[in-house]
């Protein structure tokens, strides 16, 4: 845990249970989920963010991802980093843009967020995180046309999460125009950040008083939410 001098933009967080416990965080994938997630995390405090993605911003991304027209042709990680610097007071040295794929050789943090759009990359990141002795939290966001899911994996819950993994060939092809929407990406990212801040608050208070579900699913068309609790 790292304590730093609070910035003016954090003043309203001073009394909230989760504020002040700043962590190193790895974000895998900076697209529809990750571009929103990176900014939302940066706005919660002086966390150190390591972002992996080897893609460039395309015009088609502007409907669902947090990029501007000026970002087209630039790397997604560099564009996400610049968004963070534009919209937060986070220190320059706290944000690391890794314009490359996350592989089995890549560095990941004890707290890691999976924001990939394919199962292969998701498995790669999880398997790397699983080797860490100090692993703490692996948060995985998944989206389909009008539903999204968030898995929160704590140390000891790896086998339960592995049962949710499957091969990419088993995923039905979606209608391209409905794969990405900004409101869905932002909604998933917000849910992932909420799970993270609730986990941090529970640690600081020494009691699991805030809900950190293992699995959260929302059907946006039906406005139906289902949750599975963590194992005790």
Question: What confidence score (pLDDT) does residue 189 get?
Answer: 97
Q: Where are the domains of the chain?
A: 16-228
Strands 224-228 and 215-219: antiparallel
Fold of 16-228: Rossmann fold (3.40.50)
Strands 147-154 and 111-114: unpaired
Question: What confidence score (pLDDT) does residue 10 get?
Answer: 76
Q: Average pLDDT by consecutive 10-residue portion of the chain (232 residues)?
A: 60 84 96 97 95 96 94 98 95 95 95 95 96 98 88 96 83 52 91 97 94 94 91 71
Distance CA 111, CA 27 (A): 9
- What pTM was estimated for this model as a whole? 0.92
């Amino acid at each position: 845990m790292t304590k730093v001098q609070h910035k003016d933009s954090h003043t309203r967080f001073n009394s909230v249970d989760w504020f002040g416990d700043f962590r190193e965080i790895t974000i895998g994938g900076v697209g529809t989920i990750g571009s929103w997630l990176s900014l939302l995390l940066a706005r919660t405090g002086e966390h150190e963010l390591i972002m992996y993605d080897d893609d460039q911003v395309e015009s088609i991304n502007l409907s669902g991802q947090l990029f501007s027209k000026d970002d087209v042709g630039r790397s997604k990680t560099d564009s996400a980093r610049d968004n963070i610097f534009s919209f937060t007071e986070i220190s320059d040295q706290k944000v690391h843009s890794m314009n490359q794929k996350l592989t089995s050789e890549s560095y990941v943090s004890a707290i890691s967020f999976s924001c990939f759009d394919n199962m292969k990359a998701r498995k790669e990141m999880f398997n790397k995180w699983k080797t860490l002795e100090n692993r703490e939290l692996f948060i995985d966001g998944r989206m389909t046309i009008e539903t999204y899911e968030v898995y929160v994996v704590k140390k000891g819950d790896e086998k339960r999460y592995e049962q949710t993994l499957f091969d990419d060939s088993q995923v039905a092809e979606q209608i391209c125009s409905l794969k990405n929407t900004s409101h869905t990406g932002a909604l998933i990212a917000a849910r992932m950040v909420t799970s993270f801040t609730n986990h941090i608050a529970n640690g600081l208070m020494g009691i699991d008083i805030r809900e950190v579900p293992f699995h959260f699913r929302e059907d946006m068309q039906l406005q139906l939410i289902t949750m599975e609790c963590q194992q005790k």
